Structure 1
Amino acid sequence: MTEVAFHFNVPDKLAYACRLLRKATGAGSRVVVTGEPGLLRRLDTELWTFSALEFIPHAHVGSAEAHVVAASPVVLADSPRGTPHHEVLVNIGGAVPEGFERFERLIELVSQEEDDRLQARARWKHYADRGYAIRKHDLAEREAR
């Protein structure tokens, strides 16, 4: 069963996603990131610019050839269906990612914005109603310590 984790109170979702992807790829994980198309385009740009000394290899489904997508440790996709990796799925969007159950791990990133928090509550309920154990990581609590 997919391991589900929510990271709440993320102050800058794209910057946090970049750090998370750097950590995951550094550990050898292959990751699919899903979300709305505009948000994924902004993440693509952020991955090119967030660090002057590092590059996180990535490909955007629909913008890159299939062999490039398959070889990339990070794949950006509107939907995780049909993506080449099934290890880690990071959701930066508002909806439950279609086909999330095929992944070993799902990480939901939730900002401090009220609309994002409301959508996250609906996703939490969706997973809980289907019997998924959910881990909660509250960045505000961690920062307060």
Structure 2
Amino acid sequence: MTRIEFHFNTSERLLHTCRLVRKARAQNLRIAVVGAPATLKQLDAELWRFQDVSFLAHCTAQDPPEIQRASPVALGPDPHARGINEVLLNLGDEVPDDFERFARLIEIVSSDDHGRFQARVRWKHYKSLGFEILQHDLSKVPET
């Protein structure tokens, strides 16, 4: 069964996403990231400048097929397009299609009213399907 986590109360949503990608890559996991096109474009830029001394290899749906096949991190509308089934990061408002195919789903909740409302809708959906949900209140944890 998919492990579902909600990460909320982060002051920097995309920066937190970069940290999660870095952590998952350190564990040699492959990651799919879904969300609105504008959000994914911002994340793409953030991943390029996240750390001065390293690069978080990733691809977008616009990259050539050979780059997409080689990339351990895929940003795009279809979480299954690259055959990744380990970690799914959701930056969008909707429940990702076929999220159950992933070992782990992480919902990164925006701190604005709209983001919190949409997260509550997704939370209720997952609970109605019988999933246990882990919560991570990021206001209580120093971000590194």
TM bin, normalised by shorter chain, reads: over 0.9
1:59 alignment counterpart: 59
| Identity of matched residues, % | 44
- Equivalenced residues, count: 142
**Equivalence for 1:75:** 74
CA–CA separation in structure 2 for the residues paired with 1:54 and 1:92: 23
**Map of 2:2 onto structure 1:** 2
Residue 117 (structure 2) aligns with: 118
Equivalent-residue separation in structure 2 for 1:84 and 1:60 (angstroms) = 14
Residue 26 of structure 1 and its aligned partner are, at CA, apart by 1.2
Once the two structures are TM-superposed, the CA of residue 78 in structure 1 deviates from its matched residue by 1.4
TM superposition shift of 1:34: 0.5
Equivalence for 2:34: 34
Letter in 2 for 1:6: F
User: Would the aligned equivalents of 1:69 and 1:84 in 2 still touch at CA under 8 Å?
Assistant: no
Letter aligned with residue 84 of structure 2 = H
TM-score (norm 1): 0.93
SS at match of 1:140: helix
Structure 2 unpaired stretches of 5+: none
Alpha-carbon distance in structure 1 between the residues aligned to 2:25 and 2:80:
21
Match of 1:100 in 2: 99
1:13-28 equivalences in 2 (<5 Å): 13-28=13-28
Q: Which amino acid aligns with 2:98?
A: G
Q: Deviations over 1:10-59 (max 9, x none)?
A: 11111111111011101101000000001000000010112111100000
Kept in 2: contact 1:35–1:79 (CA 8 A): no
Question: What RMSD over aligned residues (CA atoms) do the two structures have, in Å?
Answer: 1.1
Q: 1:70, CA displacement in angstroms?
A: 2.0
After alignment, is 76-85 or 52-61 more displaced?
76-85
* Structure 1 unmatched runs, 5+: none
| Contact 1:81 1:98 (C-alpha < 8 Å) held by counterparts | no
Task: Name the amino acid aligned to 1:54.
Answer: S
Q: Following TM superposition, where does structure 1 have runs of at least 4 consecutive aligned residues deviating by more than 3 angstroms?
A: none
Deviates more, 1:80-89 or 1:129-138: 80-89
